[in-house]
Amino acid sequence: MPVKKKDTDRALVLLEEYCKKLRKPEEQQLKKAIRKVMGIFKSSLFQALLDSFTKKVTKQGVISHSSLPAAVAFDVLGCPKD
């Protein structure tokens, strides 16, 4: 299922709510990483990539590999893509 703008908007709301709960010193690194992802989701570049990806999916049908937005988030967090 392709990612849509409303999905990223909802993710931002949920991430913001979760960040408010992270208060302990050992949770600050996670909070920083989440805020970084939130910044990417809000960026004009991410929104343009999302729009482009959505148009591509609409034209070609469902794409079986990882979505571009997820790949961007994994790169920022330094997570493996597998």
Mind listing the pLDDT tens digit for each residue in 8-52? 889 999 999 999 999 999 999 999 999 999 999 899 998 888 887
CA nearest neighbour of 15 among 45, 62, 51, 32: 32
- In-domain check, residue 16: yes
Rounded to 5 degrees, what are φ and ψ at 57? -65, -40
- In-domain check, residue 70: yes
Q: Cα(63)–Cα(56) distance, rounded to whole angstroms?
A: 9
Provide the domain limits for residue 31: 5-77
- In-domain check, residue 44: yes
Q: Cα(30)–Cα(39) distance, rounded to whole angstroms?
A: 14
**Confidence grade of residue 4 (pLDDT, cut at 50, 70, 90):** confident
- In-domain check, residue 45: yes
| Amino acid symbol at 39 | G
- In-domain check, residue 82: no
Helix (H, G, I), strand (E, B) or coil at 4: coil
Q: How many domains does the chain have?
A: 1
Instruction: Say what the pLDDT of residue 18 is.
Output: 95
